[in-house]
Amino acid sequence: MTTTNEVRKLTEREYEHGFVTAVDEDTVPRGLTEETIRAISAKKNEPQFMLDWRLKAFRHWLTMKEPTWQNVRYPPIDYQDIIYYSAPKRKAALKSLDEVDPEILKTYAKLGIPLEEQKMLAGVAVDAVFDSVSVATTFKEKLAEKGVLFCSFSEAVQKYPELVKKYLGSVVPYSDNFFATLNSAVFSDGSFCFVPKGVRCPMELSTYFRINAADTGQFERTLIVAEDGAYVSYLEGCTAPMRDKNQLHAAVVELVALEGAQIKYSTVQNWYPGDAQGRGGIYNFVTKRGRCQGANSKISWTQVETGSAITWKYPSVILQGDNAVGEFYSVALTNNYQQADTGTKMIHMGKNTRSTIISKGISAGHGQNTYRGLVKILKGAANSRNYTQCDSLLLGSTCGAHTMPYIEVRNRSSRAEHEASTSKIGEDQLFYCRQRGISEEDAVTMIVNGFCRQVFKELPMEFAVEAQKLLSVSLEGSVG
């Protein structure tokens, strides 16, 4: 009883430093029934196939049980106590940065976010000087020239229904898992990207330049398709602290790489992690999967996960085409009472397929960090290779690190390697740095960044710089 109330309070409460949200009539009633699904689909004016798909997912979801195998703890979620749809909200604009919580501004300053961008992130009305709409338009024109389709998921459903129909659920089927199935039934919006044959996307695609265009809410869905020989690099998230009043986030990302195509997907996740006592914070239950469908294709996931109270995600690659390459580079940091159970799955089906997994877990405070990974090399995947390296770094003595690798190799010509290490930031290392004049806090940041270097070097340049700063901000108060 009490816990249900607690959850209710948590799910409903506005984040203390949150944005003022305009009164918004365009919502469906609390709770989840077939009617809810129909209402969502109708409000979005979706074609029949979308509604059918959502309903199939919903009916399947009713038969499923919430997973309990992951190494995280949270009170039960009442799925009937969530509002599943509200139209894209317009944030009530603040008049100036003076109205923004000074703590947030301090964080922005530490992250080195330019002033105009700070305003945008904090929901302050932007000056004419920085016209985000015109910036976005310029980008869109440039992309259109190359034939790259990049828009919100809702827009794609309207404009490119054939493509959506062809690829939606082709990597993460509606029946995949409890949270993905829930997402399939109720997802509100997300991103869609299609790069046609032979096209190298001329810029890093990011959600950044449509930050105001779509408030995708808690059930986000992303679909990226790269046709033969195409290349795209996609950046998700941003280092600035993301505030959201929804506690449960269950997103799905699907990537499809056809013959010779390459998709690079980079994430920096910095959702609200809860307070120092572990109250509040986002539950980030995400299903991300890519399919290297064609021969010689490549999918690379890079993630820096510093936010959320609970992170549950395993960006995976199905290596279907011969010679396909899958990569997973991850930094997951848990401080205070944060919990992360994250890793990857590499499913080798094609011949000569290769995968690399580099996972760096950092635990501080009472944080719990679990790497969970599956490397599965099927019978037909002759001469396949996997290399896995899992390193954990502990700060202090009240946190935890766990490594749970699963390796299945079904043929004799393939090879899987696994290396794991756990280390503590040593008194010796800290003293060495401090003796050289480097403050304790800077020393911790330096050591942690060194620990993560293998992963950071996979990030696009400007993202890497931000990620380093982000780590130092996230680690604040974890020493001394």
Per the CB < 8 A criterion, the answer to whether 57 and 177 are in contact is: no
User: Closest distance between another protein and the C-beta of residue 347, in Å?
Assistant: 30
Question: Residue 5 burial (CB < 10 Å; 0-12/13-18/19+)?
Answer: exposed
User: Closest distance between another protein and the C-beta of residue 436, in Å?
Assistant: 4
Of 65-73, 234-242, 321-329, 434-442, the segment contacting another protein by CB under 8 A is 434-442
Q: Which of 451, 467, 468, 470 binds another protein (CB under 8 A)?
A: 451
Cβ-based nearer residue to another protein, 347 or 448: 448
User: Closest distance between another protein and the C-beta of residue 443, in Å?
Assistant: 9
Cα–Cα distance, 123 to 448 (Å, whole number): 32
Cβ-based nearer residue to another protein, 73 or 436: 436
Residue 88 tokens read as 């894209």
Cα–Cα distance, 99 to 470 (Å, whole number): 24
Residue 480 binds another protein (CB under 8 A): no
Q: Which of 429, 473, 476, 479 binds another protein (CB under 8 A)?
A: 429
Cα–Cα distances in angstroms (integers) from residue 123 to residues 16, 196, 280, 401, 466, in the given order: 15, 35, 22, 37, 21
Taking CB atoms within 8 Å and a gap of at least 24, the contacts of 30-33 are: 30/80, 30/81, 30/82, 30/83, 31/80, 31/81, 31/82, 31/84, 32/58, 32/79, 32/80, 32/82, 32/84, 32/185, 32/186
Residue 26 binds another protein (CB under 8 A): no
Residue 406 binds another protein (CB under 8 A): no
Size of interface with another protein, in residues (CB under 8 A):
23
Identify the DSSP state of 125: P
Residue 426 binds another protein (CB under 8 A): yes
Residue 450 binds another protein (CB under 8 A): yes
Cβ-based nearer residue to another protein, 46 or 458: 458
Residue 65 binds another protein (CB under 8 A): no
Residue 442 binds another protein (CB under 8 A): yes
Of 200-208, 336-344, 401-409, 452-460, the segment contacting another protein by CB under 8 A is 452-460
Cβ-based nearer residue to another protein, 412 or 436: 436
Q: Which of 275, 439, 462, 477 binds another protein (CB under 8 A)?
A: 439
Residue 453 binds another protein (CB under 8 A): yes
| Contacting residues for 127 by C-beta, under 8 A, at least 6 apart | 116, 119
Cβ-based nearer residue to another protein, 57 or 467: 467
Per the CB < 8 A criterion, the answer to whether 402 and 371 are in contact is: yes
Per the CB < 8 A criterion, the answer to whether 221 and 190 are in contact is: yes
Of 5-13, 171-179, 269-277, 446-454, the segment contacting another protein by CB under 8 A is 446-454
Of 10-18, 76-84, 85-93, 431-439, the segment contacting another protein by CB under 8 A is 431-439
Cβ-based nearer residue to another protein, 247 or 363: 363
Query: Which amino acid makes up residue 309?
Result: A
Residue 419 binds another protein (CB under 8 A): no
Residue 431 binds another protein (CB under 8 A): yes
Cα–Cα distance, 209 to 72 (Å, whole number): 34
Residue 470 binds another protein (CB under 8 A): no
What is the Cα 405 distance to its own chain's centre?
21
Per the CB < 8 A criterion, the answer to whether 370 and 71 are in contact is: yes
Cα–Cα distance, 182 to 77 (Å, whole number): 13
Cα–Cα distance, 112 to 312 (Å, whole number): 29
Cα–Cα distance, 224 to 415 (Å, whole number): 30
Residue 433 binds another protein (CB under 8 A): yes
Q: Which of 452, 470, 471, 475 binds another protein (CB under 8 A)?
A: 452
Residues that bind another protein (CB under 8 A): 426-429, 431-440, 442, 446-447, 449-454
